[in-house]
Structure 1
């Protein structure tokens, strides 16, 4: 089976000053995940590696660089899912964890549960020896937070006008024919304490099933939750749609039904992939058959040979 990996760095109106760094970040992440696949690693290992790269990059709203809630605190959400077994792990409202995607995987592999939140997730992280991080907040984010301390004002500014710093994710197909997905986010700036969006919710922020494919979503979390976007995309694929057609139809439905914008990276079990979005921009990258594809603006795609 030919390996494939696709990553995104969030669907929103990425400003010009972040455009170059956003593209560079997703290219670095997709190369990291592709290296895992080329060395015979699993799709699960590849999406975790790719998302960790994005969590470590302060350009993105995940891990280092996450946005702040109304109290000026970081609260992180993440999910990872194995398409072979439908095993999944998720964490929500975790703090001081640089790589919540890896904590989500630990929930999947080391507990009998699917999701842990807040205090329980922190207790579990401490028990398994997850390092504590105290450097997740960047100075630019602290300044942005100071300018906008009302949750309602934040939602109006971030999503009604499509200026929402948002979510990272990845999907992959390995040489064994298995797919996986992972999604990670710091959520909405100035969100209420304890707010959880779509990212850690199975079927909304991500889903993976060898019988259809894998999806990682990005965008307005409340809208994505209402239409269970990841599972909706895979439903269309199960009806015979291509990855591109399934993503387009599902994003259009979300726009029409709940007035929500967003994006997704999609991968079928046969290796057909797509990166689609209804926001002004989404940084994305993929590698298939040793060709790196990437883009930022609508209907834009560049290619180069992986380094």
Structure 2
């Protein structure tokens, strides 16, 4: 199989490309290589992916929110399915840079749906987010819960992606699977995310900002578990049989949570980080950030039942693995 992977220079995209190549598939990867965080990290990930892939990995730099540029980049390229992981991430960044989210997450998602429709692609798996649940009080979050109250523009764009996908699945019988990711971390992660940011600050003696005065819980999911879920979803497109799917669709459109099914208090994870780093954190307690939510917790019963998804990496194992990798990568 040959897969189109968007956001292939990103954290999850590069890891998924690694997994597909390792099992003998081919990957056409695209990425805009924008400067939301250092481009050098993205090019380092690409070098890692390409290292042993030979001609089974092809990379093209293109902004998929530009439909003409995207069509030109894909002209003459064949692929069997799409893994659409490219997006503008970040809850807080969306408050000050809203247009970046409309371009990448709305126009960009539409452009990939159009590519899938025009080419009669067998299956497209795309990234959604746990942020669509907003400040829901009911836990754990289940895919059949209502998600009508996003607390950030980022969350709103991800919910819009799900709605557009539902429409395309209904109108054109496209097989689509949306994956709501829960706080992904691990080697080759993102500098703007908590585990990376706190590790860097602890190792360099800087204070760490702890919002909502530490009353924050997250479902931390290790990258290897995320990749296992993405690949399992990719290999099992939803049936077009009129039966209800997770998420409520009767079109060939399924939505799954991918999390660790563990709700960890942030201060407990900080303690694991301190132990792995070998020093105490300088903690700065702060009020809740606009757009943020106090808790995420994934109900993974649907993906476990349908795809056999079983996360295996606890924060006690995954966080020290990240710290070890980060020390080597950053030279600390």
Q: With structure 2 as the length reference, what TM-score do the two structures score?
A: 0.31
Higher relative contact order (CA 8 A, sep 6+): 1
Q: With structure 1 as the length reference, what TM-score do the two structures score?
A: 0.33
| Structure with larger Rg | 2
